[in-house]
Amino acid sequence: MKAGVIGCGTISKFHVDGFREAGCELAWFCDIDPNRSKAYQDLYPGSKTTADYREVLADPEVSIVAVCTLTSLHNEVVKAAIAAGKAVICEKTLGMNAADALDMCLFADEKKGFLSTGYMKRFFPALQKAKELLEGKKIVSVYARTYQPFPGLYLGDPSQQKATGDFLRDYMGGGVVVCGGSHIMDLLHWFCGLPAACAGQLDTVPGAEGFDRDANALFWFESGAVAHFEAYWHEYRRGGFEQNGWDEEIRINCTDCAVTVNTPLWHKPENNAARVSFMDAVSGDYREYRYEALNSFTLHEIEEVRRVAEGKAPSVDGWDGYVADVMIDAVKEASRTGKKVKIAYHEAMPRK
Ligand SMILES: NC(=O)c1ccc[n+]([C@@H]2O[C@H](COP(=O)([O-])OP(=O)(O)OC[C@H]3O[C@@H](n4cnc5c(N)ncnc54)[C@H](O)[C@@H]3O)[C@@H](O)[C@H]2O)c1
């Protein structure tokens, strides 16, 4: 299968590696900065480069593309790719907000396109194990946090914070909730189902409207579960299970057991593995599962490429991306209004 990568910035490396490991031929690299696409061409002789993504989409031999541009450009590129008949793996967050994501999902469904959202953390073996351990269990409550060691974003130079904040708001859709929190929201959705209501509080950098650096929320799920969510850019350089400042944990309490997962520093998957522990409240047994440090981006790409080849629907589809964006919007609205917000989904969204 021939693949194209659109947007050759920070995140693209993981998709390039993922396509290669999935057995794809890297055929195109596209970026408005020719140095970035050229750097990949040097690694993959025979591949082509362009500054215009439409050139990639016009190549009939390309079957699949990874959309790795900033989020503000996802909608335009994703819809053009779907219209051109390409399978799409789009980085998260899918949209700048829920309405933006919805527009892509409706378009993909209308065209019967393949649209996957890059919530790759689901593919850590420890997360797959957690999902298996929770099969058939009644989840009562969840505590989920992502603390990320970017102190400059919390207590930095105000003018730098404002510049970063304005950029993130305008091109990514927000601050810590969009960047780190969206993964945790996706996992909450994956484990607990659909949220029905939300209360929340965002702390924004003074003078940088729309740039959240610390967020708390309570989600009430249709299943009856309640989750406390927190996302925070912090100063604690030694926090987290690997003591490197990256502190992500999801503790899931069921009627007869508890499952805890820790996810590792996101861009060093070769050094770190996620882990899961299981406590059986009835027998008192406690088990911890450790895994090889595998790259969840690659595992995601392999799974989606296999599904494209077999004519199946995506594993993490556009609607999953839409739900995370709905959750983000709900926290923002709850924080703005100070009220508990009822969460509604578009009627076209399939209920899985
Ligand atoms: N999954 C994760 O954990 C994770 C982590 C970081 C970023 N992301 C997501 O990845 C996406 C990209 O983020 P990034 O950090 O790689 O940003 P980046 O700025 O490093 O890369 C974006 C690239 O897109 C290029 N670009 C801009 N306009 C273009 C156009 N019209 N056509 C082609 N290329 C164009 C830029 O030149 C740049 O090289 C965002 O949606 C972000 O939310 C996901």
Chain segment 19-39, per-residue pLDDT in tens: 999 999 999 999 999 999 999
* Residue 209, pLDDT score: 79
* Residue 87, pLDDT score: 98
Pocket lining for ligand 1, CB < 6 angstroms: 6-11, 30-33, 36, 53, 68-71, 73, 91-93, 118, 172, 266
- Ligand 1 mean position to 33 CA, how many Å? 12
Between 163-167, 218-222, 288-292, 317-321, the lowest mean confidence (pLDDT) is in 163-167
- Ligand 1 mean position to 34 CA, how many Å? 15
* Residue 268, pLDDT score: 78
- Ligand 1 mean position to 339 CA, how many Å? 34
pLDDT at 216 over 80: yes
Rounded Cα–Cα distance for residues 213 and 336 (Å): 15
* Residue 9, pLDDT score: 97
Substitution candidate for ligand 1 out of 6, 91, 93 with most atoms within 8 A of CB: 91
* Residue 301, pLDDT score: 98
CB under 8 Å to 93, separation ≥6 — which residues? 71, 101, 172, 173, 178, 182, 321, 324, 325, 328
Average pLDDT rounded to a whole number, residues 263-273: 81
- Ligand 1 mean position to 36 CA, how many Å? 12
Helix, strand, or coil here: 218?
strand
pLDDT at 162 over 90: no
Sign of CA dihedral 342, 230, 130, 183: positive
Substitution candidate for ligand 1 out of 13, 29, 68, 148 with most atoms within 8 A of CB: 68
Helix spans in the chain (H): 12-21, 34-43, 53-57, 74-83, 98-110, 125-133, 151-155, 158-172, 176, 182-192, 296-309, 318-337
- Ligand 1 mean position to 252 CA, how many Å? 32
Average pLDDT rounded to a whole number, residues 238-265: 94
Substitution candidate for ligand 1 out of 31, 90, 146 with most atoms within 8 A of CB: 31
Q: Whose CA is nearest to atom 40 of ligand 1?
A: 70
Confidence band of 236 (pLDDT split at 50, 70, 90): confident
* Residue 161, pLDDT score: 85
Mean pLDDT taken over the chain:
95
Average pLDDT rounded to a whole number, residues 73-78: 98
Q: Whose CA is nearest to atom 6 of ligand 1?
A: 11
Q: Whose CA is nearest to atom 41 of ligand 1?
A: 71
Q: Whose CA is nearest to atom 21 of ligand 1?
A: 9
pLDDT at 157 over 90: no
Average pLDDT rounded to a whole number, residues 86-105: 98
Residue 337: cis peptide before it, omega within 30 degrees of 0 = no
- Ligand 1 mean position to 71 CA, how many Å? 7
Confidence band of 271 (pLDDT split at 50, 70, 90): confident
Provide the percentage of residues in the chain whose pLDDT is more than 70: 100
- Ligand 1 mean position to 70 CA, how many Å? 4
* Residue 94, pLDDT score: 98
Rounded Cα–Cα distance for residues 280 and 254 (Å): 10
Which residue has tokens 């996302």? 231
Ligand 1 nearest-atom number relative to CA 8: 39
- Ligand 1 mean position to 156 CA, how many Å? 24
274 close to 268: Cβ distance less than 8 angstroms: no
pLDDT at 234 over 90: no
- Ligand 1 mean position to 11 CA, how many Å? 6
Residues, the chain: 352
pTM: 0.97
* Residue 150, pLDDT score: 86
Average pLDDT rounded to a whole number, residues 187-210: 92
CB under 8 Å to 310, separation ≥6 — which residues? none
CB under 8 Å to 267, separation ≥6 — which residues? none
Confidence band of 267 (pLDDT split at 50, 70, 90): confident
Ligand 1 nearest-atom number relative to CA 14: 1
Cα 71 to Cα 101, 240, 264, 331, distances in angstroms = 10, 28, 23, 19
Domains of the chain as residue ranges with CATH: 2-120+299-316 (3.40.50.720), 124-292+326-342 (3.30.360.10)
* Residue 151, pLDDT score: 80
Q: What would the pLDDT profile of 99-127 be if each residue is shown by its tens digit?
A: 999 999 999 999 999 999 999 999 999 99
